[in-house]
Chains A and B, each alone.
Chain A
């Protein structure tokens, strides 16, 4: 553990890591809070944005606990027609399902049937695009059947804002790159590797300490950013809605989970996939003579990962891209309704991605250690 402590001293002793940490937190907090500043354009005359938000939150909270049925949907439709902002989270959901919040009574009566039909259509689209086979479509439809109906509305805007993030994992990946890239490479560029590779533990314990430091630093940095992002959103919107159905966020999602479970799955998936990213950088760090090359590689990878989906009509290629390139999940992409199919068995995407990331990380760590031990000075 003493050697791990020294590795942390090296990582945290660099100004670059402090700068990237501070900037990341600042960007995240600003992204969630700038809208509430007084100079931002307001929704309604005579009200600041913050005042409008407080009113809307109060209205939405008052609806919590109501079953989403024809009555509530028709109330929402009427409120929309009369420009009353009482039902906006339900309006948003109706926009997804009906295309607009103004609906007829028969549409309200058939809310769940219409939704199921659209879920099936969405899965059909992925099937026709070559993203999955009938096995996958059937598995997702069976999963969708397990969603309890009718849904009960809860005000869950804190969780929705938390899961909507796109930048969180990009920032976590950047911090990881700055922290991990020099772990082995800077030993080579500074010439210290000449000393440490001649010591008793330089090719054994030290390598394990560096691997542990890389993985734990990545995990802690990611979890720290996630925690900041979560707490900022909860501070603004409130902690309500943990048990709300996930479908209040993505109505066509076939996953029978609530907001709290979705947040947990997102947190675990994001952390483990960024650890995979970190271990890949660690391998490069062990091979390269300078951290600069590793950083270039990391930035290119992050850029590619930001291009969320490449429309590839070949299942295996589509799966390879989302497994190894699109590694920076947003809340919505973790829950893509396209399973991985292994020997005729459909595996939930986040489950498979977590397993692959863990296995790949273990392999990459082994290779990184070997790369450093076999480094030739000269």
Chain B
């Protein structure tokens, strides 16, 4: 099972949204990280055949993205999930199942199973227009799984889910990633940290980092510091370095009255006197590439 992106490019008039991206994805969960406007959605849309690339190609096991066989292997959940307000959850899934080529019997079984999986069984007969944002999001996830896809592309799937649903969803994706390719884009870095086997970091239309979580974190190893400073120093450091976390120590804490900063230095030199290096994580990596200083 292999999904190959070969020099995939999308250029609008004066902007290159995706710039010669080449990737080979095998089984497993891939987390796509990037700031708004980095080109994640454009890349995913090209991988789903929704947007023609200006250059390059996408193939799954040798099948081009434009073919029905490719779409037969695809499950997609877009960032903004569209629906028919007058349809019930069940009729919507039946409709999507019909479009995905499921038989009526299979459609019924799969619909019931997925509604259960996303905890919507109790509202299966209700019109979608009565659903909350999170419920719609879960319905979107359910429709993407109807055809048991070999390629699952999820654009911000956890937006709008409550913490319990997010954890449930992460577990589901982890299970699904065992025998298919899952590409997941999100701003919630912890989602990727918990379930992604590989991380792709996208910036200005290019994949600037690609590898396992530990592997890509080596870039910032020794550069993540925690400092205990006063307010004036905190403001000064915030202007110089990307800050991952800032917190005032409580009255009962050791450094009462001080500010605790977690920041990323551009090199391995401590940014302040009492700075201590701490183990790096994906939040740090994200801020390292996309964080802004409070200038």
Contact = CB atoms under 8 A, between A and B. Distances in A.
Contact of A199 (B52, B86, B99): B99
A190 B50 contact: no
B68 A377 contact: no
Interface size class of A (residues with CB under 8 A): 20 to 34
Given A195-B76, A199-B99, A377-B50, A10 B68 contact: no
Interface stretch (A76-84, A91-99, A201-209, A235-243): A201-209
Given A198-B49, A200-B147, A201-B68, A6 B98 contact: yes
Nearest to B69: A200
Contacts of A206: 99
A281 to B, nearest CB: 20
B83 A192 contact: yes
A197 B50 contact: yes
B84 A190 contact: yes
Contacts of B87: 9, 13
Contacts of A10: 84
B71 A199 contact: yes
Nearest to A12: B86
A195 B147 contact: no
B86 A200 contact: no
A205 B102 CA distance: 13
Contact of A194 (B72, B76, B147): B76
Nearest to A187: B82
Contacts of A198: 48-50, 71, 74, 76
Contacts of B50: 194, 197-198, 376-378
Interface in B64-104: 68, 71-72, 74, 76, 78, 80-84, 86-87, 91, 95-96, 98-101, 104
Contacts of A378: 41-42, 45, 50-51
Interface in A205-230: 205-206
B98 A3 contact: yes
A64 B228 CA distance: 110
Given A190-B84, A377-B45, A202 B71 contact: yes
A199 B96 CA distance: 8
A14 B91 CA distance: 16
Please give me the 9 A-B residue pairs with the lowest Cβ-Cβ distance, nearest first: A191-B82, A192-B82, A199-B99, A377-B50, A200-B72, A194-B78, A198-B76, A13-B86, A200-B101
13 contacts: A190-B84, A191-B80, A191-B82, A192-B82, A194-B50, A194-B78, A194-B80, A195-B81, A199-B71, A199-B100, A201-B98, A376-B52, A378-B41
